[in-house]
Amino acid sequence: MNLDHIILTLILLAPLVGAAVLALMPESEGSPDGSKRHAIGALLVTLITLGLTLHLPAHFHYGAEPHTFQFVQNIPWIASPAIRYHLGVDGLSMWLIVLAAFLAPIGVLASWNTINTRTRLFYTLFLLQQVAMLGIFVALDLFLYYGFWELSLVPMTLLIAAFGRTENRRRAAIKFFLYAFIPSAILLVAILWLYNLTGTFDLPILQALAASHAIAATPTALLLCSLAFLVAFAVKVPVFPLHGWLQEAVSEAPTAAVMVLAGKLGLYSILRFSFGIFPEQSRHVAPVLIALGAIGILYGSLIALIKSDLKKLAAFSTLSHVSFVILGIFTFTVLGVDGGVFQILNESLIGAAFFILLGLLYERYGTYDMRDYGGLATRHPWMVTMFVITVLAAAGLPMLSGFVGEFLILSGSMQAVAAHHVLWTVIGASGVIFGASYLLWMIQRVFYGSVGMRPEEVPGWDLTAREHLELWPLTALFLIMGIASPFWIRAIDTYGTITADKPSLFEPTGLKHSETETYSKILSQDVLSGTAAHQEVR
């Protein structure tokens, strides 16, 4: 049976049906044997979804024409306005879909013990959130996409409001919702305006129109429209300085929700829609975004340096890491874009592991305040091992996944043609110093030295089998993605090459013309041979 044409629908249906079934299952508080039934159900559903998504990399056609989508399902839905049920996958979205599906069962395991009241509500919302995320990654019709985009806000808001950690949860939820919702409203206006102009919501058609300059609007109007898109996405990422919602949302949200809170949805949307429909406008604003990315890296890590609350530290660490992606993709170089997309994967996995580990600490000791910790390494040898591996991946240690992304991003930004790119590269690269600083300091304060106040009062235990099961897949991926990156970048590169500008040489001042020529020759030969070798690999 050829699943290729319905696989995406199946991927969406699985969590949707699962959510419906869980919602119908009665709440089971009190009975000790039945109390896990929603969790078990959600685990099954997410595993099935993950299995389905693995179909994509297994059958992905790497030699496909550029700008085409695969596993397409394109059915008219509403005649007027012309809305289509149009789904598809390319090198950009494929691994993101697998990533989202991969994190879901881990998220369920991470909630296994921490969520023990209102489990029906929790897991139903969790699966709906899953539907929304997967939908965002596969939708190729702007209207359909917008539906999933809005859908992604609601379960997350409710998860924060209902399952937040402290009394502050409702405030955090409202803040998150407003930050996401208001720009989304502007996004809707922009989408409708675009429809008015072109008569279509269909992304491939819009992309083709944009490429041939066939969208009939003044440059200013198009720029404004592109900004409406960009700002909506940038808040969701979040891009500095639009990260006002992040700290509180991260502090409050339960582990399973915080794992998918920031990063990939907004970043993917920028790559897909801002870059797809507004290639020129995106290049126009690129210097600003490069600057914001570089500043975000430094800003995030400098603030993380002084935070003693682990969750807040993690929030600014997240800001710093997503800023790397922003810096990379707006360079419009192959290295920057490929590295940026790869870094979305890394950032999500590393962030997930980090938040799980913080959750484990909280589960045992009931605090996120580092000052209460200390000397845990002897008590939790496995936990400290996992922590250190995660932190090293986050700090960009070579042979772990974070390095490949950061290296490509910063190499790309050094090649960029944008104004002051050398300065922004230097600022971005300084993140390696401060990133290592706050991460290692955190490790020291929590795990080394003498045993802290809190652990002295409360006995803690090392990782349980379930916790091992949550963490091992992630840490294994850090290592595998760190040494075998081509396995993932191969698909990403098909997107990167069509999105980036033609490679241009960084020319030092004072280089004579003849020398430049020789260089270009040598470089082009090298690029050719590089490509040949690259194809061999394929």
Partner 1 sequence: MNTSLLWLIPTLPFAGFLINGTIGRKLPRALVATIALLFTAAPAFIVAQLWIFMKSAGAPLALTVTSRPWIAVTGFQVNFAFAVDHLTLIMLGVVTGVGFLIHIYSVGYMAHEEGYWRFFAFLNLFMFFMLVLVLASSFLLLFVGWEGVGLASYLLIGFYFTRDSAANAGKKAFIVNRIGDFGFLLAMFLLVAHFGTLNFSGIFSRISATPLSGGFLTAIALLLVLGAAGKSAQIPLYIWLPDAMEGPTPVSALIHAATMVTAGIYMVARCHVLFDHSPFALTVVACIGAATALMAATIGMVQNDIKRVLAYSTVSQLGYMFMACGIGAYSAGIFHLMTHAFFKALLFLAAGSVIHALSGEQDMRHMGGLWRKIPITFWTMTAAVFAISGIWPFSGFFSKDEILYQTFISPSPLAKLLWLVGLLTAGLTAFYMFRLWFKTFFGESRSNENAHEEHLAAVHAGKSSTLTLEAEPDSAHAHGVHESPLVMTIPLILLAILSIIGGWVGIPAALGGHNEFAHFLDPVFANAAAPAVEAASHGLEITLAAVSLLTAVLGIFFAWLFYYRKPGTAAELARKFQPVYSLLDHKYWVDEIYGRFIITPLLGFSRIILSGLVDAGIVQGTGAGLAATTRGGGWLVRRIQSGNIRSYAGWLAVGAAAVIAIVLFGHNALPH
Q: At its nearest, how many Å lie between partner 1 and the CB of residue 278?
A: 12
From the CB of residue 60, how many other CB atoms can be counted at a distance below 10 Å? 18
List, in order, residues 6 or more apart from 140 with CB less than 8 Å away.
Answer: 69, 72, 74, 86, 87, 88, 202, 203, 204
Q: Which of 440, 453, 469, 479: binder of partner 1 (CB under 8 A)? A: 440
Does position 169 bind partner 1 by CB under 8 A? no
Based on CB atoms, which residue is closest to partner 1, 338 or 470? 338
Q: At its nearest, how many Å lie between partner 1 and the CB of residue 73?
A: 29
Does position 285 bind partner 1 by CB under 8 A? yes
Does position 249 bind partner 1 by CB under 8 A? no
Q: At its nearest, how many Å lie between partner 1 and the CB of residue 374?
A: 9
Does position 375 bind partner 1 by CB under 8 A? yes
Binding positions for partner 1, 188-227, rule CB under 8 A: 223, 227
Does position 308 bind partner 1 by CB under 8 A? no
Does position 486 bind partner 1 by CB under 8 A? yes
Q: 173-195: string of b/e by CB count within 10 Å (b at 16+)?
A: bbbbbebbbebbeebbebbeebb
Q: At its nearest, how many Å lie between partner 1 and the CB of residue 63?
A: 14
Does position 527 bind partner 1 by CB under 8 A? yes
Does position 310 bind partner 1 by CB under 8 A? no
Structure tokens at 317: 């660490």
DSSP one-letter string for 458-490? S------HHHHHHHHHHHHHHHHHHH-THHHHH
Does position 458 bind partner 1 by CB under 8 A? no
Judge whether 491 and 91 are in contact, CB under 8 Å.
yes
Q: Which of 398, 423, 458, 468: binder of partner 1 (CB under 8 A)? A: 398
Does position 533 bind partner 1 by CB under 8 A? yes
Does position 425 bind partner 1 by CB under 8 A? yes
Does position 45 bind partner 1 by CB under 8 A? no
Judge whether 117 and 178 are in contact, CB under 8 Å.
no
Does position 537 bind partner 1 by CB under 8 A? yes
Give dist(CA 74, CA 83) in Å, integer. Answer: 10
Task: Give the pairing of strands 70-78 and 83-89.
Answer: antiparallel
Q: Which helix (H) or strand (E) holds 76?
A: strand 70-78
Residue 498 CB-density burial (10 A; 0-12 exposed, 13-18 middle, 19+ buried): middle
Give dist(CA 82, CA 90) in Å, integer. Answer: 23
Does position 429 bind partner 1 by CB under 8 A? yes
Q: At its nearest, how many Å lie between partner 1 and the CB of residue 412?
A: 9
Q: At its nearest, how many Å lie between partner 1 and the CB of residue 511?
A: 6
Omega of the bond leading into 26 within 30 degrees of 0 (cis): no
Amino acid at residue number 225: C
Does position 171 bind partner 1 by CB under 8 A? yes
* Sign of the CA dihedral with 436 first, then 438, 441, and 445 last: negative
Q: Which of 116, 117, 196, 378: binder of partner 1 (CB under 8 A)? A: 378
Does position 183 bind partner 1 by CB under 8 A? yes
Based on CB atoms, which residue is closest to partner 1, 14 or 492? 492
Q: At its nearest, how many Å lie between partner 1 and the CB of residue 1?
A: 34
